[in-house]
Each structure stands twice: as structure tokens, then as C-alpha cells.
Amino acid sequence: MAKPSRSRTQSETYLRADSGGDDGSRTGSGSPILELLVIFALVLVVQGLTAFVGVMSGLFVLAPPLTTNPWTIVTSVYAHDGFGHLVSNSIALLVFGWPVARATTRAHFHAFFVITGAIAGVSQIVITGAIAAIPFVPVAPTAGVLGASGAVFALLGYLVASNRLSSGLASVVDIPRWLSILVALGLATAVTFATASPGVALIAHFTGFLVGVLAGRARVLAVDSGPAGGRSAV
């Protein structure tokens, strides 16, 4: 995400492909990924068209105050700061999102994507604004933010926390809650700084990854995949 200013839950049950119906309840399909890629491309075209009449920012850039253009909390998740930004996020979405998409339903995946992306974007605006208000702290508030990488980082966090290795370890090792929190914060910090570069919304990346880890631990995307009540897990 870049600023325009610049189971069963345990380890014995895993992915179960192509179960359910085609009404948003189907698991084992990568179609949500393809749908998102199409949406990204269409939104980028609309961004280009609306930029000519000077309304692109009001439609797609999440900027303070959040109450001015509240729809951008959602639309900014699907918008990008140019073709290169779209390509990089699309590649990351394919890598991290595909396994998650195959383990949940289309409806759950899309809801997870937009909600985590919105949370990440809002956190970037709110937290940088709060820090900038502290005297003598050399941090400028974020003027605006757009992009899908907050949601993509959430998918990465979910994948890290809900994969077979994590599930197996959690089932045999009693890990203290404080240590789990410390590890999650450490991973979020490491992944965030690994992607640091000018114009990148680091707080959005950090928040997205952390929310994804918490969601992965809670298995919020796990679904019943058969009459026996088995669950699909990443």
C-alpha cells in the first residue's frame, strides 16, 4: 500500500478442494483471486478517466479527515498508484492469497480482503495523524493512501498463523499467550521493515499483517466442508 504523495482446526485436516456450491459457499476455488485482479484493472482504468476531470482523489484516495469521503475507506483498497504498484500487489496477492482462497468461500475471502484492507488504511491515517500531533516528533501525517497491500499483508499473516506447521505446533506445545503476542508483533515488525521504501505506508503493512495473524489464529476463514463437519484449513 503506497501513499499517492507518493483443521478441523488441528493439523490433521487441511485443504479440501472443490466442495460446496457456486453461490459464494464453495471452497477450494481460486476464483476470488481472479475476480480481484479484474477489479484492480477496472479500477485503475476508472482512476485514469476520473483523473482527467480532477475527481480521482475524492473517489479513491483515503485521506484525512476520514468523514469527508468515507467511501474511500473501501474504494482505496482496490485502487493503485500506477501500473507498477498494481503489478507488485497482484503478484503478492497471487502468492499469498491463493492458498487462503482455496481454503475458504468466495464470500468470506472477499469480506476478509476488504475489511482488513480498510482497517490497514484507516490505521495509517489515524496513527500517523496522532503521532504527528505530538510536539517535537518529526513525523508528518499521511496525506493520503491507496492500494491493496494492507489486505495482502493480512493474507500473508493469516497464512503464517493458520498453516499446517503452526497448527501442529500449537497442538503439541503449550505456548504462553504473552509469547504468542510477542512473536506476532516481532513478525509484523520484521515483515514491515523488510518492505520499507519511500512512499510506502508502513503502518498499514504492520496493521494488515498483525490483523491477519490474529484472524489466522482464530481461524475466521475456516468453513465446514462436508456433512461430517470437517473443516478446511490452510
Whether the full predicted model's pTM is greater than 0.95, yes or no, is no
Q: Is residue 64 part of a domain?
A: yes
Alpha-carbon torsion (76, 80, 85, 86), positive or negative: positive
pLDDT in tens, 160-210: 888 655 554 445 455 556 566 676 677 777 777 777 666 788 899 999 999
Partners of 62 in beta bridges:
145
Q: What pLDDT does residue 96 have?
A: 93
- Cα distance between residue 166 and residue 159, in whole Å: 9
Whether 86 is covered by a domain: the verdict is yes
pLDDT per residue as tens digits for the range 109-118: 999 999 999 9
Give the angle 112-28-10 at the CA atoms, nearest 5°: 75
Angstrom distance (rounded) from CA 171 to CA 118:
32
pLDDT digits (tens, 9 = 90+) for 91-130: 999 999 999 999 899 999 999 999 999 999 999 999 999 9
- Classify residue 225: in a domain, yes or no: no
Residue 14 lies in a domain: no
What residue numbers bound the domain in which 113 lies? 31-218
**Residue 160 in domain:** yes
d(CA 83, CA 85): 5
The answer to whether residue 15 is domain-embedded is: no
CATH number of the domain that 161 lies in?
1.20.1540.10
Q: Dump strand ranges (E) for 155-206.
A: none
Residue 140 lies in a domain: yes
Q: Is 46 part of a structural domain of the chain? A: yes
Tally of structural domains, the chain: 1
Q: Assign 138 a pLDDT band (cuts: 50, 70, 90).
A: confident
Other beta carbons less than 10 A from residue 100's beta carbon: 24
